[in-house]
């Protein structure tokens, strides 16, 4: 459904993204994960036809974004980080306006608007002015405008930023319900959003894709970081070689005391990593006690998606850039060189309405 090949975007000598390649299958939710300034928004804007790429190609539903921009825009719903809303319009009036400029026929508009209101749980707010809505409801309206024309592809850029926990759960459930009938790209730097909503993850760092995998495969990799931490007293120098002999133990190392929970002088803490599919916990405890050492604490440890993310986005990698810290300014250029208060509406308002140039005003009257 979405094919991105060797996509690059440069501003002068600064690369915002470089050689980005990934695919998204029909009905899939892809988590596009990366730290701030990694190039997520730049990539989303290129896919939405909002920015031209410097190099590479991007295809949506078989159409190349820059060769057939109007065909692509008919097939995507785009929610930028700041929802493109008209605060003086009612929710229902605004959705009718969006449906019209997205090319929904007059006969289909009422049903499409009703469907969007229901899917986003906005029925009770249909006749409320958008400026009177909370941030959470405005975010729902933003998602509603992205799905009102029932596009096969939906692009969501940081859809839960600034929401409270209850609103985050509501938006998360809404996104999960889009799977199957829509192909979704969820751009975010919030790890729980990815683990709870997405079936596959692409991680971007410094403008380059550093990993792409399914969540199940990531979890299999994470199991390699599973093991135990133990707190013992006695001669740990003699204990470590014994622990290393236990079947399933692949690494034994001493770790420093946590500042929040300092250890008594006679105690030490060890970390033991186990092989995939093997749990040597019982043997570890028996070995420590059998060696005559005191076992004060033993707890299981598991690597998390956060560990993988931090490893991939903090590891030093050779990057051929003029400025090794260019990820921050590059994103700043792409964000700040454009007045996003109006520019973010560009993908929404880009389709012309030859006979109705004053659509927003007329829609306000209809909504009123």
pLDDT tens digits, one per residue of 169-210: 888 888 888 888 889 999 888 887 888 888 889 999 989 998
pLDDT score for 232: 93
Give the integer Cα–Cα distance in Å for 102 and 78. 12
Domains and CATH numbers, the chain: 2-220+310-367 (3.40.50.300), 227-301 (3.30.70.1340)
**What is the Rg, in whole angstroms, of the alpha carbon atoms belonging to the chain?**
26
Say what the pTM is: 0.67
For the chain, where are the alpha helices, taking DSSP H only?
40-47, 69-73, 91-101, 109-119, 135-147, 165-178, 191-197, 215-222, 236-244, 281-290, 305-314, 327-336, 340-343, 346-349, 359-367
Higher pLDDT, 125 or 193: 125
Q: What is the pLDDT of residues 245-281, one digit of tens each?
A: 999 898 899 887 666 677 788 889 998 988 877 889 9
Q: What is the pLDDT of residue 224?
A: 62
Classified as helix, coil or strand, 286 is helix
- The least confident of 13-17, 95-99, 270-274, 357-361 is 357-361
Is pLDDT of 317 > 60? no
Asked whether residue 43 carries a pLDDT value surpassing 90, the answer given is yes
Residue 115 is predicted with a pLDDT of 93
Confidence of residue 57 (pLDDT cuts 50, 70, 90): very high
Label residue 64 by pLDDT band (50, 70, 90): very high
């Amino acid at each position: 459904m979405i094919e991105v090949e060797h996509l690059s975007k440069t501003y002068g000598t600064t690369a915002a993204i470089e050689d980005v390649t990934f695919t998204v299958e029909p009905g899939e939710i892809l988590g596009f994960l990366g730290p701030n300034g990694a190039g997520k928004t730049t990539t989303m804007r290129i896919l939405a036809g909002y920015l031209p790429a410097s190099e590479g190609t991007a295809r949506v539903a078989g159409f190349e974004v820059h060769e057939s921009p109007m065909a692509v825009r008919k097939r995507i719903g785009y929610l930028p980080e700041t929802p493109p809303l008209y605060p003086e319009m009612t929710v229902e009036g605004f959705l009718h306006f969006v449906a019209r400029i997205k090319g929904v026929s007059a006969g289909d508009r009422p049903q499409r608007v009703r469907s969007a209101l229901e899917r986003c749980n906005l029925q009770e707010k249909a006749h409320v002015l958008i400026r009177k809505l909370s941030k959470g409801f405005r975010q729902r309206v933003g998602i509603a405008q992205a799905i009102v024309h029932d596009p096969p592809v939906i692009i969501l850029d940081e859809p839960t930023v600034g929401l409270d926990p209850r609103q985050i759960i509501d938006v998360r459930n809404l996104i999960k319900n889009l799977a199957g009938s829509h192909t979704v790209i969820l751009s975010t730097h919030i790890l729980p959003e990815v683990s709870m909503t997405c079936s596959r993850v692409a991680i971007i760092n410094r403008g380059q894709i550093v990993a792409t995998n399914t969540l199940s495969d990531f979890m299999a990799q994470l199991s390699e970081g599973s093991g135990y931490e133990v707190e013992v007293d006695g001669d740990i120098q003699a204990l470590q070689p014994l622990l290393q002999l236990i079947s399933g133990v692949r690494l034994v190392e001493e770790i420093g005391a946590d500042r929040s929970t300092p250890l008594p002088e006679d105690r030490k803490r060890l970390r033991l990593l186990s092989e995939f599919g093997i749990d040597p916990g019982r043997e570890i405890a028996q070995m420590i006690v059998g060696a005559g050492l005191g076992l004060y604490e033993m707890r299981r440890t598991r690597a998390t998606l956060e560990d993988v993310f931090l490893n991939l986005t903090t590891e030093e990698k050779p990057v051929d850039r003029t400025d090794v810290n260019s990820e921050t300014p590059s994103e700043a250029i792409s964000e700040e060189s454009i007045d996003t208060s109006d520019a973010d509406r560009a993908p929404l308002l880009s389709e012309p309405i030859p006979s109705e140039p004053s659509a927003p005003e007329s829609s306000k009257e209809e909504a009123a």
